Chains A and B, each alone.
Chain A
Amino acid sequence: MKNKPDNKKQMNRRGFMKAATAGMAGLATQGCVNNINWDRFFQSHFKEMDKEELKSTLAKLEKEYSAKYGREFVVKATAPMEGTLFGYGLDLSRCIGCRRCVYACVGENNQSRDPQIHWISVMRTKMGDKWADLENSTRYYDPALVPEEGYFYMPIGCQMCEQSACVKVCPTGATWKEPDGIVVVDYDWCIGCRYCMAACPYGARHFNLAEPDIPKDEINTNTHYLGNRPRPKGVVEKCTFCIQRTREGKYPACAEICPVGARKFGNLLDPESEMRYLLEHKRVFRLKEDLNTQPKFYYFF
């Protein structure tokens, strides 16, 4: 708005004509339409694909990614396990704020390095500060050593809400909750309207502002369609509880790397699971309970 009057002053009619011609020429030479991947353009919604289409789509994606990164890719669509509802636990007393989980996640899940995307934000708060609004917390701390005296740390990622605000608002149904409780995104169906980002109370959703940049030698080639496969620009992505690992019985990367055992993961429907033990014996709470999003991410201390 500030710039508007200046623009008018600087540009006479000839200037406008020049810019206009440049605009048309720019459109033509940069080839907007050529940027569309036509094969993907006609791809169905993940949930509407039959077995044949899914198979050929996965093969197509593998080929595309292998060509782009020069390495063999696996793109799976592993189905949820029967009788599974995943839950996560985080021990605030143990977390030292080292952010190993953040970077393990980036590596495992092929997040863009530039522009940088982190699915986990570790919030640092001063002991005794009001932190209900999180305004006194920061994720941009940078000390030589952690933990710092007088601070506590709280990692926040997708809370895998049972009543997900993001799923409710998505205009195309490109994001949904799977039977095992994981909220996923079909990156080839998302239109990039970012309504889910406005709706998410936890800042868990991230937008690909540009074509993701991932070094070829750091790319994880073992991928899941709904999880860590490389994303295109202009779509939203988020934590998937490492769907490519957890549906095969492994721990998520963040839980595996945590050096202090602050991160717990398991099946909420299994009475013998570690998660159930936590829920029954610890003082647990969930973030922003008043919004009734019913997260499956439990903090305890």
Chain B
Amino acid sequence: MFHKIRNFLVALMNIFHGSPLYYAWIFFLLAVMGIGLYAYSVQWNQGFIVTSIRDEVSWGFYIANFTFLVGVAAAAVLLVVPAYIYHFGPIKEIVFLGEIMAITAICMCIMFVTADLGRPERILHMAPLIGTPNFPSSLLVWDVVVLNGYLFINAIIFLYVLYKIYEGKSYAPIMPLIILSIPWAVSIHTVTAFLYNGLPARPFWNAGILAPRFLASAFCSGPAIIILVFQIVGKFTRINIDIMAIRKVAELIAYTMALNIFLLGCEVFKEFYSNSVHLAPLKYMYFGLHGHHGLVPLMWTSLALNLTALVIFVVPATRRNIALLNIGCVLIIVGVYIEKGFGLVIPGFTPSTLGEIYEYWPSGIELGVSVGIWATGALIYTLLLKFTLPVYSGETHIEEPEENRERVVTA
């Protein structure tokens, strides 16, 4: 057993070997992370005065990114279901790409939330036993629980399945945990939606449709990222991506994007038709309010991107065209990123509870920290992939003779 585990961990050393392109990519990411770290040190030393966050708009770019990434993490479930429940071959072979994306996205979520704290060194005040978590009252504590739980579940499944594949044995014993990960994925995004949803002070968020909208948009953007990652992985590694896997995911996006736009329509109808004072945030987003138009161009861009993507994905002919499909994916990622980020967080605060309009736009420091976190995420994903690939492609497995191992894993 010990011997087997040791051999398994030798695959970990694989992350230190690679082509010049691999090294260049890693150093590029490390450099961007350095920028992020520098930006964060400025924020740490001077406080949030270096961000654009103010009392009127008290959450900004960090929480926007966090919300988007919770969706990306949850979307891994769209691979898990066809892979493990329906045993759809083409996806089953590459379901690990989704699992490591979930792990990466959750790590990034945790980083974004931590970057948003005024006193991050006190984060353990939320922890049980040593701290005083306000559970079950505070949805933020719920979010910490479900996010960390999701990270834990995915990490266990990922490592276990990987190890069993390396051993050449069945991973059936972990099926219950895999089944559990499906509702858990839904829960992380639902709880995150409830975090906003439960605040009657913010009518824009205080709508029952929020959690369904969260899920719908997450199930568009997450799979869109996955489709692109599939192709990148297929191009740069020996892993074979079956076109059927991509087609299946693209089909799913067609449904979820239609649902996403339908739900947005419901929201728009309700607010504009009833025309109450609660219309203000939506009006601010799409038409501007009292001469403030900060979000208007962004929101219309987002809507146009999402609608164009919807057409591309709904029409089978365009969906099957790989170039158009990729364009559609990019449109969705950008469209949902705007909708879920700026379009969700900022209008919740605009106008403020006392009717003030503060037009938020992230500062250089916020952008720097955020870019740094994205680079960290890319690094985590790359390293996990590098560790995983030889096992999945069968290069590293149990019968490997000792002397061959070193040579093979460096491929």
Contacts and interface: CB of A to CB of B under 8 A. Distances in A.
B44 interface: yes
A48 B47 contact: no
Residues of B in contact with A, size category: 35 or more
A190 B118 contact: yes
A1, A45, A236: which has the most chain B beta carbons within 10 Å? Answer: A1
A169 B116 CA distance: 16
B144 interface: yes
Residues of A in contact with B, size category: 35 or more
A298 B119 CA distance: 34
A115 interface: yes
Given A202-B353, A234-B119, A26 B55 contact: no
B27, B354, B364: which has the most chain A beta carbons within 10 Å? Answer: B354
A165 B34 CA distance: 39
Nearest to A196: B58
Nearest to A23: B38
A115 B49 contact: yes
Interface string A1-35: 10110010000010011011111101100101001
Nearest to B37: A23
Interface string A164-207: 01001111111000000000000001111111011111110111
A51 to B, nearest CB: 19
Given A32-B45, A195-B140, A197-B55, A27 B38 contact: yes
B71 interface: no
Interface stretch (A67-75, A130-138, A244-252): A130-138
Interface in B45-101: 45-49, 53-56, 58-59
B47, B140, B352: which has the most chain A beta carbons within 10 Å? Answer: B47
Contact of A193 (B31, B117, B133, B349): B117
Contact of B54 (A16, A202, A209): A209
Contacts of A193: 113, 116-118, 140
Contact of B201 (A134, A173, A200): A200
A198 B124 CA distance: 22
A187 to B, nearest CB: 10
Nearest to B125: A172
A19 B353 contact: no
Given A17-B34, A35-B44, 8 more contacts: A4-B371, A19-B34, A20-B38, A172-B134, A209-B49, A210-B48, A235-B118, A235-B119
29 contacts: A13-B24, A19-B38, A23-B35, A24-B37, A30-B41, A137-B355, A138-B356, A156-B354, A165-B201, A168-B137, A169-B140, A169-B198, A169-B199, A172-B122, A189-B122, A191-B125, A191-B126, A193-B140, A194-B53, A194-B59, A198-B196, A198-B202, A198-B348, A202-B353, A203-B55, A203-B356, A207-B55, A210-B47, A234-B48
Interface of A: 1, 3-4, 7, 13, 16-17, 19-24, 26-27, 30, 32, 35-36, 41, 45, 48, 115, 121, 123, 132-139, 156, 165, 168-174, 189-195, 197-203, 205-211, 232-236, 291-292
